[in-house]
Amino acid sequence: MWLVGRPLHSADAPHEAIGKAVGLAVFASDALSSTAYATQEILVVLAAAGLGALHYAFPISVAIVALLAIVTISYEQTIKAYPSGGGAYIVARDNLGELPAQVAGAALLTDYILTVAVSVSSGVAQLVSAFPRMFALRVGISVALVLFITVLNLRGVKESGKFVAIPSYFFIVIMYLTVGVALFRYATGTLGAVADPPPLERLGEAQAVTLFLLLHAFANGTTALTGVEAISNGVTAFKEPRSHNAGVTLMWMAVILGSLFLGISFLAGPIHAVPSEAETVISQIARTAYGGRGLLYLATIGATTLILVMAANTAYAGFPRLSALQAADGFLPRQLTYRGSRLVFSRGIVVLAGAASLLIIVFKASVTGLIPLYAIGVFLSFTLSQAGMTRRWWKAGRLPPDTEIRERDTVLGHDPHWRIKMVSNGVGAVLTAIVAVVFAVTKFREGAWVIVIVIPALVAIFFAIHGHYLEAARVLSLEHFGAPPRVLRHRVILPISGVHRGTVVALRYALALSNDITAVHVSLDADSARRIEQKWGLWGNGVRLVVLESPYRLLLEPLLDYVKEVADRRQPNETLTIVVPQFVPRRWWHQLLHAQTAVILRLALINRPGIVITSVPYQMVPEGDYCAVETD
């Protein structure tokens, strides 16, 4: 309890809602943190054409910010139309159908996992830039940070939001200060170039500046847009009026993200920043702006490291909510819909932490290695969301004025501006679809092929889970079931390894169930079997005993064969109960010294209808009474 805090009452849920200031820290930290590596990822690709090609970074960044504006406007409309949250998943489900919805869900869940892995790895990369001796420890540090953020989020949205707010706003202030100082020095001609730049790193062989190279760099830079959808997924976390507060927070995020990203990309040119795993572009800009590795430089690196690590918090806010929505629809295990003691979807949080930690270990916390897997999913979800909103406006335009219809998660009414909204969302859908295709093609060989396989595989798993739940609902339905069946006969089988107190206690319980009882003993030794028969004659209360010979010294197989033989002869409305005496020692490890017959019988017979397996525990205490009875 000390780790995650005291349990919260269900009635406390409204008090856990957050305002715009905390909401910006919780849901926008991912998008804002991408300014720390998006420019560098553009430069990494352009470096293949030599240092002379790096000046294309700023025009590419302008195009990305224009795309950011289109996506932001689209999601602002989504927030107003779907105040219950859900983002791309809900929009696609209500307007495009289940298959597109599950594709959007798979894309977003994948993106959230990658968000944690990339953000934490990038934050550790910033730390390593300032302290190169820590390079060999980056994987361990990254996993430890993931565990820390996991515990933080298990404590609740409001508490984690307050914790994240300080580093988020510190990052915003220090980055505007750093970019502002650098721009002022550039305007006054005192900025200069980065001193002692790190060695230039290239991806692949040297090549000329081509359209494919520029598209490749553009695709890398669009990682700046990851996390934009998180606010629309988490509208329900905001205080009332939820849609208004979430929409304002989205606009704040877009303005801060766009301005910082453009400033960093512009400054990378004049200082001749070099893309390198050894030192990040942010480090080079800060070092040049402040003239060395002084206090303000260290503050910039510290703030960047913190925001990158805290950026993972956005995924922790989005992943559990989205997985709970899909689970409620029957496409993920239902357990993901349960809230923990702190009113958060704790199972989803733990799943996210495990998957992200595995990725960090596999890719050795390399941002460049993880980036090719990144952003395809988010742009696929952008496309489906905007396509869904396009169809929604088309449906709204066909409704007569002053008419409203109730849909699954929203109310749809006639909108006089439906044509403008439909065109804007349609254009956005086309543009984001083009970006998704460009990203998939340009990054395919570098690892994007993994996501191209993973998303369809996840969708197939979702529909397999859904099929199981539909089948379970059909089998368990009481429609056309008729009257409840009556148990006309109750037959009991009592397996015994010997005659002792536990056996007698189990026999007493069996006699309370039925008079039709058969005790069964598997004999490995004739003399031992004779002694058991004699003792049973004294303590068996007249119940018949069947001794099964086992010439091959097998214990379980003869018993299973006997049970199956009796079960095959079972009459209609007859229940067969196997009562298993279970010896319960005082210490847990003593269990390893005794045969777990009840557990093995459950596993072997669980799929046979009409069989109930009951454990009758006998506790090892001086004057022990038996207590609980476990029944399957």
Got the DSSP string for 119-169? Answer: HHHHHHHHHHHH-GGGGGGHHHHHHHHHHHHHHHHHT-HHHHHHHHHHHHH
Residue 118 domain-assigned (yes or no)? yes
**Co-location of 169 and 220 in the same domain:** yes
pLDDT band at 624; cut points 50, 70, 90: very low
Residue 79 domain-assigned (yes or no)? yes
pLDDT of res. 186: 93
Helices (H), 483-553: 501-513, 526-539
pLDDT of res. 487: 55
Helices (H), 222-292: 230-233, 242-268, 281-290
Phi, psi of 591 (to 5 degrees): -60, -30
User: What's this model's pTM, rounded to 2 decimal places?
Assistant: 0.74
Q: Do 79 and 385 form a contact (C-beta atoms < 8 A)? A: no
- Interacting residues of 328 by C-beta distance below 8 A, sequence separation 6+: 334, 337
326/331 Cα distance (integer angstroms): 5
**Co-location of 451 and 558 in the same domain:** no
**Co-location of 37 and 117 in the same domain:** yes
pLDDT greater at residue 474 or residue 553: 474
Residue 288 domain-assigned (yes or no)? no
Residue 189 domain-assigned (yes or no)? no
Among 582, 589, 593, which residue's Cα sits nearest to residue 624?
A: 582
User: Residue 579: which H helix or E strand, with range?
Assistant: strand 574-584
**Co-location of 28 and 125 in the same domain:** yes
User: For the chain, what percent of residues have pLDDT higher than 70?
Assistant: 88
**In the predicted structure, residue 364 carries a pLDDT above the cut 80:** yes
**In the predicted structure, residue 407 carries a pLDDT above the cut 70:** yes
Residue 401 domain-assigned (yes or no)? no
569/491 Cα distance (integer angstroms): 12
pLDDT of res. 483: 61
43-80 pLDDT per residue, tens: 888 888 877 788 899 999 999 999 899 889 888 888 88
Q: How many other C-beta atoms can be found within 10 angstroms of the C-beta atom of residue 448?
A: 21
**Co-location of 505 and 556 in the same domain:** yes
Q: Is 113 helix (H, G, I), strand (E, B) or coil?
A: helix
435-492 pLDDT per residue, tens: 888 878 877 777 777 888 889 999 999 999 999 889 888 876 767 666 655 656 788 9
**In the predicted structure, residue 626 carries a pLDDT above the cut 60:** no
**Co-location of 443 and 546 in the same domain:** no
The tokens for 376 are 């395809």
The tokens for 598 are 């009840």
**Co-location of 68 and 165 in the same domain:** yes
Range of the domain at 39: 21-177+200-258+311-388+432-470
Query: Average pLDDT of the chain?
Result: 83
Residue bearing tokens 């050894």: 278
Residue 194 domain-assigned (yes or no)? no
- Interacting residues of 615 by C-beta distance below 8 A, sequence separation 6+: 580, 582, 598, 629, 630, 631
pLDDT of res. 621: 62
Paired sense of beta strands 574-584 and 611-619, if any: parallel
364/210 Cα distance (integer angstroms): 32
142-201 pLDDT per residue, tens: 899 899 888 888 776 656 666 778 888 999 999 999 999 999 999 999 988 888 888 776
**Co-location of 494 and 555 in the same domain:** yes
Paired sense of beta strands 630-631 and 611-619, if any: antiparallel
CATH number of the domain encompassing residue 505: 3.40.50.620
**Co-location of 122 and 171 in the same domain:** yes
Q: Is 406 helix (H, G, I), strand (E, B) or coil?
A: strand
Q: Do 62 and 259 form a contact (C-beta atoms < 8 A)? A: no
pLDDT of res. 625: 47
- Residue range 570-581: average pLDDT? 84
Residue 216 domain-assigned (yes or no)? yes
In angstroms, the Cα distances linking 305 to 119, 175, 271, 312, 360 are 9, 12, 22, 12, 16
The tokens for 360 are 């960090």
- 526-541 burial, b at 16+ Cβ within 10 Å, e below that, comes to eeebeebeeebeeebe
- Domain finish residue from 470, 499, 522: 470
pLDDT band at 629; cut points 50, 70, 90: very low
Largest CA distance in the chain: 107
DSSP-derived secondary structure for 306-339: HHHHHHHHHHHHHHHHHHHHHHHTTSS-GGGG--
136-145, 215-224, 434-443, range with greatest mean pLDDT: 136-145
pLDDT of res. 540: 92
Specify the range with the lowest mean pLDDT, choosing from 215-224, 263-272, 402-411, 540-549.
Answer: 402-411
Give me the number of domains the chain comprises: 2
CATH number of the domain encompassing residue 211: 1.20.1740.10
522/548 Cα distance (integer angstroms): 5
Residue 250 domain-assigned (yes or no)? yes
pLDDT of res. 592: 67
- Domain finish residue from 470, 498, 529: 470
**Co-location of 253 and 115 in the same domain:** yes
How buried is residue 573: exposed, middle or buried, by Cβ count under 10 Å (0-12/13-18/19+)?
A: exposed
**Co-location of 465 and 496 in the same domain:** no
Q: Do 446 and 396 form a contact (C-beta atoms < 8 A)? A: no
**Co-location of 451 and 358 in the same domain:** yes
**In the predicted structure, residue 9 carries a pLDDT above the cut 50:** no
DSSP-derived secondary structure for 499-519: -SHHHHHHHHHHHHH-SEEEE
Strand partners, 617: 582
- Residue range 240-265: average pLDDT? 91
- 19-33 burial, b at 16+ Cβ within 10 Å, e below that, comes to ebebbbbbbbbbbbb
The tokens for 93 are 């489900």
How buried is residue 281: exposed, middle or buried, by Cβ count under 10 Å (0-12/13-18/19+)?
A: buried
142/150 Cα distance (integer angstroms): 12
- 491-505 burial, b at 16+ Cβ within 10 Å, e below that, comes to bbbbbbbebeebbeb
pLDDT of res. 206: 60
503-517, 565-579, 605-619, range with greatest mean pLDDT: 503-517
pLDDT of res. 12: 46
